[in-house]
Structures are given as structure tokens and as C-alpha cells.
């Protein structure tokens, strides 16, 4: 069985993309579809490489029954563009930066998370400089997007 490989990307891979990875993995597991996917996350920059997700992301996820504490931040690698079927950027700036470094023939794999999941060009805001409420709001946005994405994920939608 071919697995759909999905990569969630934000700036530093400690707030939004680890939450998206954890939420999507949790939803896929609950739906009995975990074997259909390879799910990962990465950052545009390597500032936090090797670190755990932000403690506030960990706490918000845990509050919803999702454990992301074992994830470690990493910078997107050139090999990721060939390896993953779908690369979802959390905001327009992340998407622009991905397009700068991705091979041109693989740009079709790059999408704004909300555009693909919900048909909206709205960014997932970076909660890093905010408080708990900002992280909860981001969790809610990511849950809505991942919930919409999961039923549509697979070969029929993206031709992987």
C-alpha cells in the first residue's frame, strides 16, 4: 500500500507545523487510517533544530488529548521536495520561501494549508509572540483544516 506523504511547514517548526502534524496524525489514527499516511513537519529556518515544540503548543495539544512532546524541530531539506507528495505551508510567507528553494518541477506539491484544506487564502497566524489564547486559536484553525483535509486525502485528490 502506497502511503500519502504529507509535510506541514511553518517558520521554525516549533509552533504551528508540529501542531498540524500531531492533529492530522491523531485524526488519521482515530479514523483507522494511520497506515495510509506518512506525516511529518519542518521549518523554513533551522533556528530551533533538534528542539521540542514550543511548550505552549505541547500544552494545547495535550489539553486536547494529543501528545506532540516527542517531536523535534528540523529544517526542511532539499530531499523533502521529492519525498513528500504534499507540502503544506502555514502562511503565504512560508509558501513564498518554499517556492524559492523547491525545484520548479515540484512546485505543484506546495500549497497554502488553508487554501487546500478549506478553500481559503487565510494564513495560520504564528502564535509565538502571543499567549495561550493565541495557541488555542491556532489549534482550532488547524483542527478545522485537518478535519477537512483527512477525508479528501489520497490519490484521487493529489494524483500521487
Which residues are identified as catalytic? 10, 16, 126
Distance CA(10)–CA(43), nearest Å, equals: 5
Output helix, strand, coil percentages for the chain, rounded to the nearest 5: 50, 15, 35
Under a CB-based contact definition with an 8 Å cutoff, are residues 88 and 19 in contact? no
Sheet of 37-43: strands edge to edge? Answer: 37-43, 4-10, 86-89, 110-112
The C-alpha cell of 31 is what? 479514523
Q: Where are the beta strands (DSSP E) in 21-160?
A: 37-43, 86-89, 110-112
Amino acid at each position: 500500500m502506497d502511503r500519502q506523504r504529507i509535510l506541514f511547514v511553518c517558520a521554525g517548526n516549533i509552533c504551528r507545523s508540529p501542531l498540524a502534524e500531531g492533529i492530522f496524525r491523531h485524526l488519521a489514527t482515530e479514523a483507522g487510517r494511520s497506515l495510509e499516511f506518512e506525516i511529518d513537519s519542518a521549518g523554513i529556518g533551522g533556528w530551533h533544530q533538534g528542539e521540542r515544540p514550543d511548550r505552549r503548543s505541547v500544552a494545547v495539544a495535550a489539553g486536547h488529548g494529543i501528545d506532540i512532546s516527542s517531536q523535534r524541530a528540523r529544517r526542511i531539506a532539499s530531499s523533502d521536495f521529492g519525498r513528500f507528495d504534499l507540502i503544506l505551508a502555514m502562511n503565504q510567507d512560508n509558501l513564498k520561501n518554499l517556492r524559492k528553494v523547491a525545484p520548479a518541477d515540484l512546485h505543484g506539491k506546495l500549497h497554502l494549508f488553508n487554501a487546500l484544506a478549506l478553500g481559503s487564502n487565510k494564513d495560520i497566524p504564528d502564535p509565538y509572540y502571543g499567549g495561550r489564547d493565541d495557541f488555542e486559536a491556532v489549534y482550532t484553525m488547524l483542527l478545522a483544516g485537518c478535519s477537512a483535509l483527512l477525508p479528501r486525502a489520497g490519490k484521487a485528490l493529489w494524483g500521487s
